[in-house]
Amino acid sequence: MTSPALTHAMGSFANTHGYLSAATMGLPTCAAVAEMTEKLQQWATATCNPMNYGDIVERTRGHYARLVGIDSTRVAIGSQTSVMASLVACSLPAGSHVLVVESDFTSIVFPFLQHRDLVVQAVPLAQLAASITDSTALVVFSLIQSCNGKVADTEAIVAAAAQHGARTLCDVTQAAGVYPVDATQFDATVCHAYKWLCSPRGVAFSQSLKTSAGTSLPFRLAGTPVMMCGAASTAPK
Ligand SMILES: Cc1ncc(COP(=O)(O)O)c(C=O)c1O
């Protein structure tokens, strides 16, 4: 027996029984296809008003915020997680130690490897929490690994990061929409919506870093004082 919610969800899609590749590419709902078709038609007939996009973006930020349990003022939109991870990479002082997971998705690993100024260490997922030390500035990991579906032990990782004063960046692309996400645990998250959130490619979210005042801050770019969770510093950890 299926619940009314599941029946409603199943009725929201075209008949795609047997499709098992949402981890690669999620499918759109019929409503999303109708809306996009209408918008394309408006674009093609020069009747599109870009001023209307703002409301859609605000609603979308609100949806992501609700889904992962944070305030929408902390949610930024973008086109790809790799771009957003790059902003975080650029915000780190030279010499910062970044811990990543072996075989994690390239979009959250390569932006840090590209920065010769950063010291990046890759460890197996199971050893991530135990590998955090006082010299770790940032721990980067996917909540669910795209290559094998393994779920990170967020409790252990977050506890170890707090103990050693490290920040956390969690990619929730393979989790949001299909697995519970409590983004309040992390300093920042990134998420591309084209998997379990059934969007087209090019819709991504990031959650800005917390400050000690409890407000949000946009990511800072290289060369400016870095503020991560209220700790203003230009010196590498
Ligand atoms: C964990 C994870 N993050 C991010 C992405 C998408 O990366 P990007 O937004 O840079 O295209 C994928 C796509 O497979 C993924 O599995």
* Distance, CA of 222 to CA of 22 (rounded, Å): 36
pLDDT at position 1, please? 75
Residue of 89 and 215 predicted with greater confidence: 89
pLDDT at position 52, please? 86
Candidate from 87, 100, 107 with most ligand 1 atoms within 8 A of CB, to mutate = 107
pLDDT over 50 (residue 157): yes
* Distance, CA of 190 to CA of 186 (rounded, Å): 11
The two counts, helices (H) then strands (E), for the chain are 7, 11
* Distance, CA of 228 to CA of 219 (rounded, Å): 8
Candidate from 79, 145, 146 with most ligand 1 atoms within 8 A of CB, to mutate = 146
pLDDT over 50 (residue 220): no
Task: Give Cα separations from 42 to 28, 36, 37, 38, 179 (angstroms).
Answer: 20, 10, 9, 6, 36
Among candidate residues 132, 144, 147, 146, the one with its CA nearest the CA of residue 98: 132
Surface-to-core class of residue 123, CB atoms within 10 Å of its CB (0-12 exposed, 13-18 middle, 19+ buried): middle
pLDDT over 90 (residue 230): no
DSSP state of 2: -
Residue of 217 and 87 predicted with greater confidence: 87
pLDDT over 90 (residue 192): yes
Lowest mean pLDDT among 22-31, 180-189, 201-210: 201-210
Task: Give Cα separations from 81 to 89, 110, 193, 194 (angstroms).
Answer: 12, 11, 10, 11
Q: Please indicate whether residue 104, judged by its CB atom, sits closer than 6 Å to ligand 1.
A: no
* Distance, CA of 113 to CA of 153 (rounded, Å): 24
Determine the average pLDDT of the residues in 210-236: 39
227 pairs with which residues across the strands?
A: 232
Determine the average pLDDT of the residues in 131-157: 97
Nearest CA to ligand 1 atom 11: 80
Quickly state the pLDDT bin for 211 (edges 50, 70, 90).
Answer: low
Nearest CA to ligand 1 atom 10: 82
Share of the chain above pLDDT 90, in %: 76
Range ranked top by mean pLDDT from 4-18, 85-99, 136-150: 136-150
| Through-space distance between the first and last CA atoms of the chain, rounded to whole angstroms | 55
141 pairs with which residues across the strands?
A: 170
Q: Please indicate whether residue 189, judged by its CB atom, sits closer than 6 Å to ligand 1.
A: no
Quickly state the pLDDT bin for 81 (edges 50, 70, 90).
Answer: very high
Residue 52 alpha carbon to ligand 1 centre in Å: 28
Q: Please indicate whether residue 192, judged by its CB atom, sits closer than 6 Å to ligand 1.
A: yes
Question: What domains appear along the chain, each with residue ranges and CATH number?
Answer: 71-233 (3.40.640.10)
pLDDT over 60 (residue 188): yes
Residue 233 alpha carbon to ligand 1 centre in Å: 30
Determine the average pLDDT of the residues in 30-41: 95
Determine the average pLDDT of the residues in 26-30: 96
* Distance, CA of 226 to CA of 17 (rounded, Å): 49
Candidate from 24, 81, 103 with most ligand 1 atoms within 8 A of CB, to mutate = 81
Structure tokens at 168: 């956390």
pLDDT over 60 (residue 98): yes
75 pairs with which residues across the strands?
A: 207
* Distance, CA of 83 to CA of 111 (rounded, Å): 8
Tokens 């290559």, residue located: 147
pLDDT at position 64, please? 94
Alpha helices of the chain — where are they, by DSSP H? 4-11, 30-44, 53-68, 81-91, 106-113, 128-131, 154-164
Residue 173 alpha carbon to ligand 1 centre in Å: 6
- Atom of ligand 1 lying closest to residue 201 CA: 11
